[in-house]
Amino acid sequence: MPENKLTKFYAILRKRNGHQHWWPGETPFEVIIGAILTQSCSWTNVETAIGNIKRADALSPLVLERMPLAALGKLVRPTGYYKQKAKKIKSFLAYFKTYRYSIKSLRKRSMPELRGELLGVWGIGPETADSILCYALDKPAFVIDAYTRRLLFRLGLTAEDASYDTLQRFCIERVPVSRAVYNDFHAQIVVHCKAFCRTVPKCVECPLRSALCLYPNKRQTPR
């Protein structure tokens, strides 16, 4: 792997945290549902909602497709915006049905084709599409989320208001294309930001502070 600031901080985090084995989910379909539900929501609440779906014996495309929208909304209520989330799941299911609910058939498609199709599904934006591609469909998609944006900015690598496409392009130009690496890279960022690079960062304890991160020097009272 070429050495640059991006790959250096990944190496530090990987050594510290070990491989993360993401995404949490027993099946690709569960991963997809989780990717939709996690929009503007903590993962703890997503787990609660998925638990509700499992207890209703409904974690399958056919069951969810036949389920009334209101009933589905009730199951996913812990994730917030539950009426919209239920509609988004239904929207994805309508798309998935064109592939006869076959993950294998989806995986046969090229990543550009799949990404374009997913972005055409109501309720699926770039982050959700790339999460589905990387974690459910085994495609080399680099996921950009709020944690990635925050960390790259604080490392002095990108602008705070950079677009999704700009941030993604910045990353894929510096990190060799690999689904396994992109998978774990994003996971390492999430784990790191939850522990250290929070909204109010814990810079004194951060493993990236001395080696890479300039952010503490910009703050009057590092925490």
Name the residue ranges covered by the structural domains of the chain: 5-19+143-218, 28-135
CATH code of the region 5-19+143-218: 1.10.1670.10
pTM of the model: 0.93
pLDDT at 222: 39
Are residues 191 and 13 in contact, defined by beta-carbon separation less than 8 angstroms?
A: yes
- Report the alpha-carbon distance of residue 42 to residue 216 in Å, rounded: 27
Token pair for 92 = 């994805």
Hey, what's the torsion of the CAs at 185, 180, 166, 164, to 10 degrees?
-80
- Report the alpha-carbon distance of residue 32 to residue 128 in Å, rounded: 9
- Report the alpha-carbon distance of residue 206 to residue 199 in Å, rounded: 14
In one-letter notation, the amino acid at residue 164 is Y
Are residues 126 and 35 in contact, defined by beta-carbon separation less than 8 angstroms?
A: no
- Structural Rg of the chain based on CA atoms: 18
pLDDT at 36: 98
Q: What is the phi/psi pair of residue 24, to 5°?
A: -60, 125
Hey, what's the torsion of the CAs at 65, 68, 69, 75, to 10 degrees?
-90
pLDDT at 220: 42
Are residues 64 and 85 in contact, defined by beta-carbon separation less than 8 angstroms?
A: no
pLDDT at 189: 98
Sole residue written with tokens 């994730």: 79
pLDDT at 219: 54
In this prediction, the residues of the chain whose per-residue pLDDT falls under 70 are 211, 217-223
E strands within the chain?
none
Q: Shortest CA distance to 33 belongs to which of 65, 68, 11, 5? A: 65
> Does CATH number 1.10.10.60 belong to domain 28-135?
no
pLDDT in tens, 51-108: 999 999 999 999 999 999 999 999 999 999 999 999 999 999 999 999 999 999 999 9
Token pair for 66 = 């036949």
In three-state secondary structure terms, 149 is helix
Same fold, 5-19+143-218 and 28-135: no
- Report the alpha-carbon distance of residue 121 to residue 163 in Å, rounded: 21
Token pair for 40 = 């503007």
